[in-house]
Amino acid sequence: MNAMTIPVALVEEADLNADLLAENVRLLQLDELKDELIATVSHELRTPLTSIVGYLELLQAPDAGPLTDQQAQFLGVIRRSAERLLSLVSDLLLMAQVESGGMRLERESVDVATIARDCLAAVGPSAASRSIAMELMADAATVFGDRRLLGEVVDNLLSNAVKFTPEGGSIAVRVGRLDDRVLLTVRDSGIGIPADEQKDLFARFYRTRDAARRAVPGSGLGLSIVKAIVDAHGGEVTVESAVSEGSTFRVVLPANHSLPAEERSS
Amino acid sequence: MSNARPLVLVADDDEDILQLVVLRLGRSGYDVISATDGEAAVELAKARCPDLMVIDVAMPRVDGLEITRILRARDETASIPILLLTARTRDVDVELGLSAGADDYVTKPFSPELLAQRVAALLQIAAQKAQPVQALRAVAWQ
């Protein structure tokens, strides 16, 4: 081989490497852009929401002075809307975190029964206002997981159940151990999900035809977040449902003791 | 501190949020002073030695973490309880804030009521810590 000529294959390989390098740089830049966007959204949306929710609280405080019934009602509307916006912002942020492959779990020993009890208490008033009966049967069931995120899972499943269950219906929550797994089920007597829509249910921004038609408020992010969190915990979420009969969401998580010790302590 | 109204310094560059915190803490019966940037907050803290500070992390020039570090490094201000306000949750912000020496943090958006409760708790802890020292001083003076 003449020292002055470079084989074509080598030139092509060098070009290919350069292309890959450039592509890599571009992807990294995109990633940075996304991180920046998340940080901006986080700050720019949360700051005005802090003012809205905070001043509302001052206006609604007992020592704020008398309000007419109508003023109190208007403030209630603002509050509910602000809370919806807030939960959308936190859902988007969580989703963005998942997308960037960075759902960081702050793991500790967590009793899923306790989480279920707290979440049930939180949705209690909205269920009661529509005469929906709530029932909880929970045995202590510890997992090694992120308390806040697992709360998010139960919150999402419960608020969906309340949202899609007609007045006078019922919701039953069960928590228990099954061998080396923890089982959580949320069963409702709601409107149900058609079989052909069940496979898409956990996709981002997916909304059932019925939810869209009835204009039930929601972003379509809740169940995708549930799935992402459950996946991150090494678990599984599934649904069984029949139209007009109701839906059962089932979450299976590895029980605390079933994890190898080194993984638990990390 | 036990017979006077606790003095609380609030720093946030967002004047709406600053006023919100000042109003709420005022309702709790504290004397509240405020600053809209980090430098002013540090100067005010040096001059008045408040019983507690509520500081926004994200402020221009001198941010909340830097304020915390500066105050922790000076004897006169080292033990002032500091509560950080942060717009980010489970983020480096929180870890950095606590490692910089902050005592607690509240994430935005926050409930003013909750913030007031945290402030009250921190003041109570600080008062408990201060008591034995005061008792010792009292003994030493006799």
Task: Please report which confidence band the pLDDT of residue B73 belongs to, taking 50, 70 and 90 as the band edges.
Answer: very high
CB contacts, 8 Å: A51 with chain B? 14, 16-17, 20
Rg of chain A, C-alpha, whole Å:
24
pLDDT tens profile A11-28: 888 888 888 888 888 888
The Cα–Cα gap between B96 and B94 comes to 5
Return the structure tokens found at A101. Answer: 């492959």
Q: pTM for this structure? A: 0.65
Q: Would you say domain A107-265 falls under CATH 3.30.565.10?
A: yes
**For a pLDDT cut of 70, what percent of chain B falls above it?**
85
For residue A107, the surrounding DSSP H or E stretch is: strand A107-111
Query: Does A54 contact B90 at a Cβ distance shorter than 8 Å?
Result: no
Q: ipTM score here?
A: 0.76
Residues 51-110 of A with CB under 8 A from B: 51-55, 57-58, 61, 63, 86, 93, 104, 106
**Spatial separation of the C-alpha atoms in residues A204 and A87, rounded to whole Å:** 16
Only one residue has tokens 């099954």, namely: A178
- The residues spanned by each domain of chain A are 9-99, 107-265
Task: Report whether pLDDT(A168) > 80.
Answer: yes
User: Is the CB of A266 inside 8 Å of chain B's CB atoms?
Assistant: no
Distances (CA, A) of A112 to A35, A91, A124, A253: 32, 21, 18, 10
Contact check, Cβ <8 Å, A53/B88: no
Question: What's the pLDDT score for residue A265?
Answer: 46
Residue linked to tokens 């009835």: A214
| Angle, vertex CA A122, rays to CA A133 and CA A39, nearest 5 | 140
**Equal CATH topology for A9-99 and A107-265:** no
Which run of H or E residues covers position A250? strand A246-254
CA distance B59 to B40: 11
Which pair of tokens denotes residue A98?
A: 């998942």
User: How confident is the model at residue B139, as a pLDDT?
Assistant: 52
Q: Do A104 and B90 touch (CB under 8 A)?
A: yes
Say yes or no: domain A9-99 is CATH 1.10.287.
yes
Question: Are B20 and A55 a contacting pair at CB < 8 A?
Answer: yes
Interface list for A 197-256 with B (CB within 8 A):
none
User: Is residue A39 over pLDDT 70?
Assistant: no
Q: Domains for chain B: give ranges and CATH numbers.
A: 7-141 (3.40.50.2300)
Min Cα distance A54 → chain B (Å) is 6
Give the mutation candidate from A36, A50, A105, A229 for the B interface (greatest B CB count, under 10 A).
Answer: A50
Token pair in block for residue B2: 């036990």
Does residue A102 surpass a pLDDT of 50? yes
Q: Which pLDDT tens digit goes with each residue over A117-156?
A: 999 888 888 888 899 999 999 998 999 999 989 999 999 9
